[in-house]
Amino acid sequence: MGSVKDVIVIEKPENGKSGRGRFLFSDRYSVFDWGEMPDHILDKGKSICLTTAYFFEKLEEKGIKTHYIGIVENEMIKKLNEIKNPVNMIEFKMLRVLKPEIKNGIYDYSIYKKEKANFLIPLEIIYRNYLPEGSSVFKRLNEGTLKLEDIGLKEKPLPGQKLEKPIIDISTKLEMSDRYLKWDEAKEIANLTDDEIEEIKFITLKINEIITKEVEKIGLINEDGKVEFGFDENRNLILVDAVGTLDECRFTYEGIPVSKEIARIFYRKTEWFKKIEEAKKKDKINWKNFVNINPPKLPKELFILISNIYKSYANELTGKVWFDAPPLRDILSDIKNYL
């Protein structure tokens, strides 16, 4: 079980052989690495399932290898256009998850020097087309942990700025809090070759381009998003986890967020968020031990609006009415008034 989806193991992956698993997408959600939040967003799990299946099938049509097998409906594996009602489960090719050990307060990735194939790469790859207000890029530039030359810029960017060409960022995946890395650090901890790094960058840009074109059809801007990769039994790179959903991407419509960024905006104003920021400065690994309050529930009106956004996004992206939800344009007008 993860913070937002459950994993069902059908066949366990072994040393030289991948397995089969299923994702049961829940209505849970997470922000700021906290884990499960107090509200469950109605029909979020089904929306995420439908939209990630849509993008996996699009990407495979374009020649990108993924771990996706199909949607599960009544215990049968189907393509998206074969199902009649919204479901919340997909089946996928399952890879091993090799977790780094913590030694003397530091993550030890030496296991990746020994293992060659059939595992999740312990990195998250982030593409950025815009730098919206709240992007971690601004915080890291101010702290000095990121330099302009690292992201190919000559001048300090402004909030909301569209980039001339996408930036690809990288962070850890299996640590308590995501930690941004430089590419040479990522190469070292995951034991990647130069060619594999270039392949990850190339495929990420291709995925970004496809998602951007698809969501433009329904009036959305693809500001940024994340993808994850693994190696199959022959060390071929494959796309894993979920892709193109409102949890993986930051979309906007006329400057209004169309993602769980709406919840982040609400929570950034709370005392709970301040405690998180303070705790992460004290201890990057065990920071949750220093947060002595729980996040508050979302206001009811905001909760309903966010639920409708997930449902409407699935309807409009796939071109099929799965859920009873207002058009995205109308929901976002209400969100704008609320925010």
Q: Residue for token digits 């709406």?
A: 262
Mean pLDDT of 93-104: 94
User: What is the model's pLDDT at position 260?
Assistant: 81
| Total domains in the fold of the chain | 1
pLDDT per residue over 43-82, tens digit each?
A: 999 999 999 999 999 999 999 999 999 999 999 999 999 9
pLDDT per residue over 124-173, tens digit each?
A: 999 999 998 778 899 899 999 888 988 888 888 998 889 989 999 999 99
How many CB atoms lie under 10 A from the CB of residue 252? Answer: 19
User: What is the model's pLDDT at position 239?
Assistant: 98
15: pLDDT strictly greater than 70 = yes
For residues 57 and 275, the answer to whether their CB atoms sit within 8 Å is no
Q: Binning pLDDT at 50, 70 and 90, where does residue 1 land?
A: low
How many CB atoms lie under 10 A from the CB of residue 235? Answer: 13
User: What is the model's pLDDT at position 53?
Assistant: 98
Determine the Cα–Cα distance for residues 58 and 214; give it in Å rounded to an integer: 9
Mean pLDDT of 309-318: 97
pTM of whole model > 0.85?
yes
For residues 199 and 108, the answer to whether their CB atoms sit within 8 Å is no
Domain that holds residue 269: 5-338
Q: Note the helical H segments in 123-193.
A: 136-143, 183-190
3-state secondary structure of 199: helix
List of residues 6+ apart from 114 with CB closer than 8 A = none
88: pLDDT strictly greater than 90 = yes
Mean pLDDT of 206-220: 97
128, 120, 114: which is closest to 160 by C-alpha?
128
Q: Binning pLDDT at 50, 70 and 90, where does residue 286 land?
A: confident
Q: Binning pLDDT at 50, 70 and 90, where does residue 113 land?
A: very high
User: What is the model's pLDDT at position 12?
Assistant: 96
CATH number of the domain bearing residue 184: 3.30.470.20
CA distances from 334 to 136, 180, 236, 274, 312 (A): 27, 35, 45, 27, 14
List of residues 6+ apart from 76 with CB closer than 8 A = none
List of residues 6+ apart from 333 with CB closer than 8 A = none
Q: Residue for token digits 């704008």?
A: 336
Rounded to the nearest 5°, which phi and psi values hold at 127?
Answer: -100, 145
Average pLDDT, the chain: 93
List of residues 6+ apart from 214 with CB closer than 8 A = 55, 58, 244, 317
For residues 125 and 197, the answer to whether their CB atoms sit within 8 Å is no
176-185, 219-228, 322-331: the lowest-pLDDT one = 176-185
User: What is the model's pLDDT at position 2?
Assistant: 63
